């Protein structure tokens, strides 16, 4: 059996982290929760990570800055942002950093789970080429 996917979640608010852990408890991920970008970078250096879900406005490095550095260290890790400031980040910047999902706070549990499932699904070839998912069912960014 394949190992459980590792999800790194980053937010300067402990309560957000514990609520996220609660939401994703039954999703079968190995969740690593840290409260700063600096701690997240340490985790990235120490162990494999399949996906990163980070807050944007944090003391020190912002979420986008963290993801930009994560892209250098772990280019394969899926990069996702969870923030209340979705409108403030230029779309080009999101593309530049290769961010594949933008989760708005407060988040919808079902949509969050769907987003992560889609992001962490085994890299199956895009069968038929067309994306049949309902665009409103998750937070994924589509071009």
Partner 1 sequence: MKRAGAEVRIIVARSLDSPLPDPTFALRRLGPGAHIEILHGAAACRARCREHSVDLIVAEAGPGAECWELLDAIAPDGPPVIVVHRDRSERAALAAFERGAADCVVAGEEFPDVLPVVALEQIQRWRAARDQDVAERRIRDLESYNQNIIQNLNSALLVVDLDGRIVFSNPPAEEILGESAEALRGRPIWPWFPETPRGEVHVARTLATGERFKGVESTLTRADGTPVPIGISSAPVFDSAGTELGAVAVFSDLTEIKLLQRKVLQAEKMASIGQLAAGVAHEINNPMGFIHANLFQMSEYLTDLRRVWDEVGALLEAVGGGDPAEVRRCSAELAEASKQVDVDFVLSDFAKAIRESQEGSERIRHIVNDLRNFSHRDSEHPVLADVNRFLESTAGIVWPMMKHLVVLEKEYGNLPKVGCYPMQLQQVFMNLLVNAYQAIEARIGGSGETGTIWLRTEPRAGGVAIIVKDTGIGIAPENLDRIFDPFFTTKKVGMGTGLGLSTCFNIVERHGGSLVAESEPGVQTTFTVWLPGGNAAERAG
| DSSP designation for 87 | G
Question: Any contact of residue 86 with partner 1 (CB under 8 A)?
Answer: no
Residue listed under structure tokens 């969050």: 112
What is the DSSP code (8-state) at residue 135?
T
Q: Pick one of 61, 78, 89, 101: the residue that binds partner 1 (CB under 8 A).
A: 61
Two structure tokens written together for 135? 């665009």
Whether residue 106 is preceded by a cis peptide bond, meaning omega within 30 degrees of 0, is yes
Residue 12 binding partner 1, by CB under 8 A: yes
Q: How do beta strands 6-10 and 51-54 pair?
A: parallel
111 close to 138: Cβ distance less than 8 angstroms: yes
Q: Binding partner 1 by CB under 8 A: which of 8, 9, 16, 67?
A: 16
Mark the segment that binds partner 1 (CB under 8 A) among 18-26, 39-47, 94-102, 121-129. Answer: 18-26
Q: Specify the stretch interacting with partner 1 by CB under 8 A; choose among 2-10, 51-59, 72-80, 120-128.
A: 51-59
Please give the residue ranges that form the binding site for partner 1 (CB under 8 A): 12-13, 15-16, 18-20, 22-23, 25, 37, 57-62, 65, 84-85, 105-107, 109
């Amino acid at each position: 059996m394949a190992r459980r996917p590792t999800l790194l979640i980053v937010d300067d608010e402990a309560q957000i982290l514990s609520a996220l852990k609660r939401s994703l408890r039954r999703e079968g991920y190995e969740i690593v929760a840290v409260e700063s970008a600096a701690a997240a970078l340490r985790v990235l250096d120490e162990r494999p990570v399949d996906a990163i879900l980070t807050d944007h406005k944090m003391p020190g490095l912002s979420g986008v800055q963290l993801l930009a550095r994560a892209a250098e260290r772990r280019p394969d890790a899926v990069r996702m942002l969870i923030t209340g400031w979705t409108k403030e980040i230029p779309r080009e910047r999101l593309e530049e950093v290769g961010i594949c999902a933008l989760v708005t706070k407060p988040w919808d549990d079902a949509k969050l789970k769907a987003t992560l499932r889609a992001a962490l699904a085994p890299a199956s070839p895009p069968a038929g080429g067309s994306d049949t998912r309902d665009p409103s069912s998750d937070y994924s960014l589509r071009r």
